[in-house]
A and B are shown apart, each in its own frame.
Chain A
């Protein structure tokens, strides 16, 4: 199963002065098990794209094929799709509403009509996958735990539906550095160890480099770039032209290359890059 978009366009408020194209003629294909980062300036259509893949929005033109389910302008029942594709919105902790963490995470699987034992199992499993301690947290109110934990609970609520594809809209926005790092590690292990397809929107190029293998750059609803992460961040000038940035390490490598040092490839982690630099300097 995979995700395919064929010439998808989406227009908000068609026929009024507010009419704007959020997506323009977008075609792309995402394979099973990929980790894709979506970057682009505010209002470039990133969130709109995610909502299409989840079936919350329908294309005004074109069509999608997500996990074997066909989505077009016509209305249809999409509960099967929602089961396979999980979407975590920006600041997902604002959607928490239940009395306890456990009940809140159970909301999704219960909606799927699963038997209570299965729901319990899913909740525990999702909490574990998100690094939340079931014993100490399950009967706490989701409103009295820390911000980082709230975020994890909200993501666990989506994971409990056991999706094959997990999409996150700026998952680390507003978290402190530690919470950020921990969440990134958790997401990476979800992808690497449990083979979940990840689609992540982020404004942090560091996070994209850490988490993703492929990066899409959207601007004004159009796909500007679709490359592997290392290649994408090599072209510093292109990224800057499009209002983006590159990870600091890519910039360092870029500067070194400019200075005539023989660093051909980009490194996605600081450790690797440090090693390569040390080696070139004759220290290792």
Chain B
């Protein structure tokens, strides 16, 4: 169950997507998100969907792996779907007592769900194909112009990368503690809401304690290696754009143009 969460996970590989400059992927994902929210018609969605599938194919990450990541947001998806389906005013196409489904509602529900699915697939594709270190480097470089106005680009990037880095670790730890408590007869899966919430105490307390301890250890380890922020730090791998990145941006430009054109006709 916890293994289903793929957000923020890295899927090692050497595909063209893996080799793209992380900045390209970050900017690209950002653009992609904007495009998603521009999209209104089904042909546009079809185009975006195909684009995502193409990227999945290029990344060589198994589609099943990404779809499994969607499982963790099934609840949100269903919720958004239901809200839009039942509460959008318009021409009714189905009516049963006080429940009313409108043509507009059905449309909106589908588009909303498509949007969320594409959003999650697109963004998880980015984290799946970039290692946390690459992402941090990318973020730091992208924000470094802001350093002049006092924005702590390096620190923010470091914090983000630490957070990303520890998602799988914490998941693993959660899994372990859950199992240990299950071996003591804990039941995390049945009961009413309140019971379930209470059943989480034996999981959350040890998890919190372990996290604090981990944070403390990490701080010590960083200090022991003389970490003192980003000033004057050089890198082993300097980020450099290549022709691949140019190609990627070109593709994105075409995609945006395509979406725009499909929106007009």
Contacts and interface: CB of A to CB of B under 8 A. Distances in A.
Interface of A: 13, 15-17, 51, 54, 56, 79, 82-83, 86-89, 92, 94-97, 107-108, 111-112, 143, 157-158, 161
19 contacts: A15-B62, A16-B62, A16-B65, A17-B13, A56-B183, A79-B185, A82-B182, A83-B185, A94-B177, A94-B180, A94-B209, A95-B180, A95-B206, A107-B181, A107-B184, A111-B184, A143-B209, A158-B183, A161-B185
Interface of A (DSSP majority class): mixed
Contact of B184 (A15, A16, A108): A108
A165 B64 CA distance: 39
B86 interface: no
A89 B180 contact: yes
Interface in B133-182: 176-177, 179-182
A108 B184 CA distance: 5
Contact of B183 (A89, A94, A143): A89
B181 A56 contact: no
A89 B11 CA distance: 28
Interface in B1-59: 3, 11-13
Contacts of A79: 185, 187
Contacts of A94: 177, 180, 206, 209-210
Contacts of A17: 11-13, 62
Contacts, number: 65
Contacts of B12: 17
Interface of B (DSSP majority class): helix
A98 to B, nearest CB: 8
A51 B186 CA distance: 15
Top 9 nearest A-B pairs (CB, nearest first) are A111-B185, A97-B205, A108-B184, A95-B180, A87-B183, A89-B180, A97-B202, A56-B179, A97-B206
Given A16-B62, A96-B206, A157 B182 contact: no
Contacts of A51: 179
Contacts of B96: none
B183 A82 contact: yes
A200 to B, nearest CB: 16
Contacts of A143: 209
A157 B202 CA distance: 13
Interface string B243-264: 0000000000000000000000
Contacts of B185: 79, 82-83, 107-108, 111-112, 161
